[in-house]
């Protein structure tokens, strides 16, 4: 294959990675930004979203699009509910203590993973895409659904941004993020904000998973890679910065797509990790993160 | 960051004398509990205990589940027929997480804690390679069902055997003539970037060359990869056959993305069913495989010429004519490999009875008795087909099936002969000390 088409394919693949990564990392970043909780179980919420998408779409017969749309609505809601329960039963009882919550979310990671293994099983199961249109380019074919994933993710990111910057809920969230005690003094129900943010963070991961599951498959170990990549993205972008998260996701996704296609996937991972190290050394708050107060 | 609630303050948990005494008492009680009592009476009444190193979790979990089902069925059949040398057989299962380091721990645990008679059942090649030294150190016979060439390469040790399934080198050698004659001569290989993939990487080119074919590109893919489109530009345009052998949960994606990339203008495909074990061949996106060919150790779908032994084996394990669990059409088995568990357990039975095996002190005798085995006739104990066994390299040789995807099923179109897969031994385990 010549250089031009090759690069195009690499960029397309990178964009799909970026799109899903941006959504997942945004959830992680939101939870850290507002709650100062490092949610190690974030990848498992992603996995749970995919597994539930499989369950919902197989339970509904008819055109695959119906099952998929149902999954896109039901799976994130259920995952949000699980996250809400986890927040109520675990995180709140730990007073959102930073060290305590890390250990607790590691525990949640294993519990969710093993429950999935027990009730869903070790197989990788496919979900039918809502439509299977193959875009025929002169040099190669490409999945139309993959491009739809990129578009859907972009729309969701814009919606999240609008909610955060233009609505009262967003204002309350930002106020809580900026200074918890003052927000509380002004009558903001901080605990309810925390619960909501934790649920929304998990739901963003679940939505990303539902979008990706027709491309890859639902598998009980699928949460590990997104977790690692999300951390990389969030560290580079700056914890708690929405803009930074999106920019870093596109950066990591595209470099992963292009480097792994022209060189090797291992080199792509090396570069991503190296960028993280460089950012931590020279700009510990991340590219767009504010310095800690 | 402050540890306000004292989660990490160990000084808070004081250990009183009373608590300590309670703990010691409980420990002593446990040690005296019935489960810990060694059989003090005659060894003959105690069951033979087989340590089953199972991939219950990790990337091999789907295989692990079916390996357990098959082994349980074989043990039941053996026990119903009187056990091994009149003693009942009992499986002791430990999960190795499909991880080499844990694999070695599990072998140690079987040898030192459970004190099982042998260790058995491992599939993934990196786990076998990681566990084999532990088996050698503990001098405990280790019967694997792994398909890799590592046992036959004689690079492991005298305690490792693979008597129930053929190795990759032999499989490739016996199928290369068919590939060159029927699929095409210019082959691009796609394989996982670890031991099992390397067997394919190393043995296909010479085997194909001997038939006038050629491997024109080799693409190694990391086993944890979840997206594959980025590798496809490396496939040369003049490729006639794509030879794919992938493992792990992402194989469906691999096939789907290959389908999107090529559409109907695809080269011939020849794959190892390892790519699709435990996966329904009629899953969405797999239509692309229609008309392609697969290696199968034992056919997943019931074939018109199945022997009575094959039918009885399928019924005992509980798989239907489509190779799925009886009663759950979606629960597809790993039929192409798991027969090896059944056959290996019967080899263990034969060798133990030949050796007059009494207990762990006879492990060396068991090794020698296994090495003395020459052939296994097709029948209820070896439903996949007849096999020969080379005691010097601890490896069996048998027939291979090449199946075509046709109308949503796999139909066997070619069976190789045992001789097709024979090769010069690369070493001799029997010269090693026991």
Nearest residue to B296 via CA among B246, B336, B267: B336
Q: Cβ B65–A121 below 8 Å, yes or no?
A: yes
pLDDT at position B255 is 86
In a domain, A104, yes or no: yes
In a domain, A143, yes or no: yes
CA distance A75 to B189: 39
pLDDT at position B228 is 87
> Per residue in A225-270, pLDDT tens?
889 889 999 989 887 788 889 999 999 999 888 888 888 778 888 8
Instruction: Name the phi and psi angles at A9, rounded to 5.
Output: -60, -45
CA distance A63 to A57: 10
Among chain B residues, CA nearest to A2: B233
pLDDT at position B35 is 46
Q: Cβ A97–B283 below 8 Å, yes or no?
A: no
Topology of B168-305+402-414 in CATH?
Rossmann fold (3.40.50)
Which residues from B are below 8 Å from A257, CB to CB? 230
Which residues from A are below 8 Å from B276, CB to CB? none
In a domain, A103, yes or no: yes
In a domain, A271, yes or no: no
Instruction: Name the phi and psi angles at A216, rounded to 5.
Output: -100, -160
A215 against B71, higher pLDDT: B71
**Cβ of residue B262 closer than 8 Å to a chain A Cβ:** yes
**Cβ of residue B227 closer than 8 Å to a chain A Cβ:** yes
> Per residue in A145-160, pLDDT tens?
999 999 999 999 999 9
Q: Cβ A142–B62 below 8 Å, yes or no?
A: no
pLDDT at position A22 is 94
pLDDT at position B354 is 95
CA distance B145 to B162: 6
Look up the CATH number of domain B45-167+339-398+427-431. Answer: 3.40.50.2300
Q: Kindly report the pTM of this predicted structure.
A: 0.79
pLDDT at position B26 is 58
pLDDT in tens, chain B (434 residues): 455 554 555 444 445 556 556 655 655 555 445 444 444 444 567 999 999 999 998 888 889 999 999 999 999 999 999 999 999 999 999 999 999 999 999 999 999 999 999 999 999 999 999 999 999 999 999 999 999 999 999 999 999 999 999 999 999 999 999 999 999 999 999 998 888 889 999 999 999 999 999 999 999 988 777 788 888 888 998 999 999 998 766 778 888 888 888 887 889 999 999 878 888 888 877 888 899 999 999 999 999 999 999 999 999 999 999 999 999 998 999 999 999 999 999 999 999 999 999 999 999 999 999 999 999 999 999 999 999 999 999 999 999 999 999 989 999 999 999 999 999 999 999 999 98
Distance from the A103 Cα atom to the nearest Cα atom in chain B, whole angstroms: 10
Which residues from A are below 8 Å from B232, CB to CB? 140
CB of B402 within 8 A of CB of B292? no
CB of B395 within 8 A of CB of B167? yes
Q: Cβ A95–B4 below 8 Å, yes or no?
A: yes
pLDDT at position B301 is 96
Q: Residue B110: which residues within 8 A CB-CB, separation 6 or more?
A: B51, B53, B92, B94, B116, B119, B140
**Cβ of residue A117 closer than 8 Å to a chain B Cβ:** yes
**Cβ of residue A98 closer than 8 Å to a chain B Cβ:** yes
Planar angle of CA B248, B254, B258, nearest 5 degrees: 165
Q: Per-residue pLDDT averaged across A134-149, rounded?
A: 88
Both structure tokens of B382: 């070896």
Domain boundaries, chain B: 45-167+339-398+427-431, 168-305+402-414
Which residues from A are below 8 Å from B253, CB to CB? 215-217
* Angle between helix A168-178 and helix A144-166 axes, rounded to 10 deg: 70
Domain housing A90: 26-222
In a domain, A15, yes or no: no
For A257, the closest of B230, B278, B284 (CB atoms) is B230
Q: Give all strands (DSSP E) within B305-422, no chain letters.
A: 324-325, 328-332, 375-376, 387-390, 395-398, 401-406, 409-415
**CATH topology identical between B45-167+339-398+427-431 and B168-305+402-414:** yes
Distance from the A236 Cα atom to the nearest Cα atom in chain B, whole angstroms: 22
Distance from the B393 Cα atom to the nearest Cα atom in chain A, whole angstroms: 34
Q: Cβ A216–B250 below 8 Å, yes or no?
A: yes
| Domain count for chain A | 1
pLDDT at position A1 is 66
Neighbours of A255 (CB within 10 A): 17
For A141, the closest of B57, B61, B263 (CB atoms) is B263
Q: Cβ B249–A129 below 8 Å, yes or no?
A: no
pLDDT at position B250 is 77
Residue A212 Cα to chain centre, angstroms: 11
pLDDT at position A293 is 44
pLDDT at position A243 is 86
**Cβ of residue A266 closer than 8 Å to a chain B Cβ:** yes
**Cβ of residue A106 closer than 8 Å to a chain B Cβ:** no
SS3 track for A206-237: HHHHHHHCCCCCECCCCCHHHHHHHHHHHHHH
Both structure tokens of A134: 């193959």
Distance from the A166 Cα atom to the nearest Cα atom in chain B, whole angstroms: 33
CB of B394 within 8 A of CB of B161? yes
């Amino acid at each position: 294959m010549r250089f031009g088409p090759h690069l195009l394919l690499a960029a397309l693949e990178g964009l799909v990675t970026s799109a899903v990564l941006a959504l997942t990392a945004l959830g992680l970043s939101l939870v850290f930004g507002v709650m100062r909780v490092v949610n190690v179980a974030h990848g498992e919420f992603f996995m749970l979203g995919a597994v539930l998408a499989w369950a919902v779409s197989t339970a509904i017969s008819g055109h695959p699009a119906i099952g998929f749309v149902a999954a896109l609505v039901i799976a994130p809601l259920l995952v949000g509910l699980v996250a809400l329960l986890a927040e109520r039963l675990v995180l709140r009882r730990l007073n959102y203590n930073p060290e305590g919550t890390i250990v607790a979310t590691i525990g949640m990671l294993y519990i969710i993973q093993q429950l999935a293994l027990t009730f869903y099983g070790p197989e990788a199961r496919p979900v039918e895409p809502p439509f299977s249109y193959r875009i025929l380019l002169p040099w190669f074919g490409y999945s139309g659904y993959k491009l739809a994933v990129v578009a859907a993710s972009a729309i969701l990111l814009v919606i999240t941004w609008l909610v955060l910057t233009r609505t009262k809920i967003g204002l309350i969230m930002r106020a809580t993020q900026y200074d918890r005690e003052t927000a509380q003094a002004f009558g903001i129900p901080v605990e309810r904000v925390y619960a909501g943010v934790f649920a929304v963070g998990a739901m963003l991961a679940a939505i990303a998973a539902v979008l990706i599951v027709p491309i890859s498959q639902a598998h009980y170990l699928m949460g590990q890679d997104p977790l690692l990549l999300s951390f990389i993205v969030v560290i580079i972008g700056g914890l708690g910065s929405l803009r930074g998260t999106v920019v870093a996701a596109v950066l990591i996704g595209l470099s992963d797509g292009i480097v792994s296609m022209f060189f090797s996937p291992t080199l792509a991972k090396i570069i991503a990790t190296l960028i993280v190290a460089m950012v931590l050394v020279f700009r510990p708050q991340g590219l767009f993160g504010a310095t800690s107060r | 960051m402050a540890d306000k609630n004292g989660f990490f303050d160990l000084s808070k948990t004081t250990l009183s004398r009373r608590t300590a005494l309670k703990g010691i008492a409980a420990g002593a009680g446990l040690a005296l509990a019935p489960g810990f009592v060694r059989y003090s009476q005659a060894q003959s009444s105690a069951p033979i205990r087989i340590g089953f190193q199972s991939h219950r979790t990790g990337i091999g979990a789907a295989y692990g589940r079916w390996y357990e089902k098959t082994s349980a069925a074989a043990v039941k059949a053996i026990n119903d027929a009187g056990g091994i040398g009149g003693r009942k057989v009992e499986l002791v299962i430990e999960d190795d997480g499909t991880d080499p380091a844990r694999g070695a721990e599990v072998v140690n645990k079987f040898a030192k804690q459970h004190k099982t008679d042998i260790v058995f059942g491992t599939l993934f090649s990196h786990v076998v390679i990681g566990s084999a030294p532990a088996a050698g150190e503990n001098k405990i016979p280790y019967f694997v069902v792994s398909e890799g060439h590592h046992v036959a390469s004689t690079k492991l040790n005298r305690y490792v055997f693979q008597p129930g399934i053929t190795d990759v080198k032999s499989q490739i050698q016996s199928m290369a003539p068919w590939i060159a004659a029927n699929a095409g001569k210019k082959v691009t290989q796609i394989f996982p970037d670890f031991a099992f993939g390397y067997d394919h990487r190393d043995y296909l080119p010479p085997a194909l060359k001997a038939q006038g074919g050629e491997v024109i590109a080799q693409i190694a893919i990391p086993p944890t990869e979840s997206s594959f489109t980025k590798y496809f530009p490396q496939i040369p345009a003049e490729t006639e056959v794509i030879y794919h052998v992938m493992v792990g949960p992402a194989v469906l994606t691999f096939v789907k993305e290959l389908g999107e990339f090529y559409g109907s203008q695809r080269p011939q495909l020849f794959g190892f069913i390892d790519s699709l074990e435990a996966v329904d061949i009629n899953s969405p996106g797999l239509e692309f495989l229609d008309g392609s060919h697969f290696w199968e150790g034992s056919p997943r779908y019931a074939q018109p010429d199945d022997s009575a032994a094959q039918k009885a084996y399928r019924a005992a394990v509980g798989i239907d004519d489509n190779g799925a669990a009886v009663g759950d059409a979606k629960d597809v088995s790993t039929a192409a490999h798991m027969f090896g568990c059944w056959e290996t357990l019967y080899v263990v039975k034969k060798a133990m009875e030949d050796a007059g095996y009494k207990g762990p002190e006879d492990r060396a005798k068991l090794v020698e008795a296994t090495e003395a085995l020459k052939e296994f006739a097709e029948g209820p104990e070896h439903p996949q087909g007849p096999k020969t066994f080379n005691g010097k390299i601890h490896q069996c040789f048998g027939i291979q099936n090449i199946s075509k995807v046709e109308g949503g099923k796999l139909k066997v179109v070619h069976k190789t002969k045992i001789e097709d897969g024979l090769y010069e031994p690369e070493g001799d385990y029997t010269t090693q000390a026991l």
